[in-house]
């Protein structure tokens, strides 16, 4: 099969899942991943026959995509905040909203009076390590500690840290039963915040392929992580320190209430889609 023929086959086979532009993008990405040909070479060599092994791998990609498996998992990597990250079935696929969270955090820190050299940051629920690694990239002098319950997720996060040659203090622990021992200038988190009763609303492509422990609250109380973070922030967030949280859009006011009164500034912020998505606070 030629590259051109495969592209037509890819589009036809996945027409029910992707529109033409999405299909063309994904097809090009996978051809480059497997053959090494970039988009320009794919056009120039469109009538070249694919190697048998490469064709088999590409056909398998179509089968995997038909199951609903995220294309980032099939690739084994994704781009986030201009950086390449390894991802697998043990970590969440990074979302655009988390880029917004980081953009807000980075801008706030840069505009603050905090000394970025020796800045101490706590990241709760690190997953693939995207939050601490993006922050470390922007603030090389920061000392960042990241906590996660999943050993497999931490393995992926450490792999990403090694890939980017960035040093993070990763801790394997159940945060809900973990006692902090030092204070921080920044606390940031995108914890599991989907209520158990909301599972029926979540797309199969998400809940069947991404780790449920990273998606859903472990108990009926969907705010359990935010309650613990609020308690810890009272004691372990330094004066003039900042808090940045990604939250459940359905529980914006309820989440904000946990932090009102404990911070000189605490606000509920909408994402680019207009949903209540973030809590930002200054102690």
Distance CA(247)–CA(224), nearest Å, equals: 12
> What is the per-residue pLDDT for 137?
97
> What is the per-residue pLDDT for 196?
59
The strand order across the sheet containing 237-246 reads 169-172, 143-148, 120-124, 184-189, 237-246, 276-282, 265-270
> What is the per-residue pLDDT for 74?
94
Residue linked to tokens 């009272």: 234
> What is the per-residue pLDDT for 210?
61
> What is the per-residue pLDDT for 213?
61
- Of 136, 149, 170, nearest to 228 by C-alpha is 149
- Of 274, 219, 230, 275, nearest to 255 by C-alpha is 230
> What is the per-residue pLDDT for 192?
81
> What is the per-residue pLDDT for 222?
82
**DSSP-assigned letter for residue 51:** P
Question: What are the per-10-residue average pLDDT scores of the chain (283 residues)?
Answer: 94 92 94 93 92 94 92 94 94 93 96 90 96 97 96 96 97 94 96 66 59 64 90 93 94 92 86 94 90
> What is the per-residue pLDDT for 6?
93
């Amino acid at each position: 099969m030629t590259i051109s023929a495969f592209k037509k086959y890819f589009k036809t086979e996945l027409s029910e899942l992707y529109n033409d532009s999405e299909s063309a993008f994904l097809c090009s990405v996978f051809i480059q991943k497997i053959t090494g040909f970039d988009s320009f070479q794919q056009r120039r060599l469109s009538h070249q026959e694919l190697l048998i092994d490469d064709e088999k791998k590409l056909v398998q990609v179509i089968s995997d995509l038909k199951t609903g498996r995220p294309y980032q998992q099939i690739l084994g990597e994704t781009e986030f905040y201009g950086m390449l990250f390894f991802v697998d079935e043990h970590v969440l696929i990074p979302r655009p909203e988390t880029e917004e969270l980081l953009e807000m955090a980075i801008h706030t820190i840069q505009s603050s009076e905090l000394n970025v050299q020796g800045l101490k940051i706590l990241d709760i629920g690190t997953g693939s390590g995207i939050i601490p690694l993006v922050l470390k990239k922007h603030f090389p002098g920061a000392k960042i500690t990241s906590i996660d319950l999943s050993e497999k997720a931490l393995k992926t996060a450490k792999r990403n840290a090694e890939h980017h040659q960035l040093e993070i203090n990763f801790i394997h622990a159940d945060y809900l039963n973990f006692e902090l021992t030092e204070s921080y200038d920044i606390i940031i988190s995108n914890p599991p915040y989907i209520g158990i009763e909301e599972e029926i609303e979540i797309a199969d492509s998400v809940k069947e392929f991404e780790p449920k422990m990273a998606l859903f609250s472990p108990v009926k109380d969907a705010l359990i992580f935010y309650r613990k973070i609020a308690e810890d922030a009272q004691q372990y967030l330094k004066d003039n320190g900042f808090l940045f949280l990604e939250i459940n859009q359905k529980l914006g006011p309820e989440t904000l209430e946990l932090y009102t009164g404990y911070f000189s500034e605490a606000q509920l912020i909408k994402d680019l889609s207009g949903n209540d998505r973030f809590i930002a606070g200054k102690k």
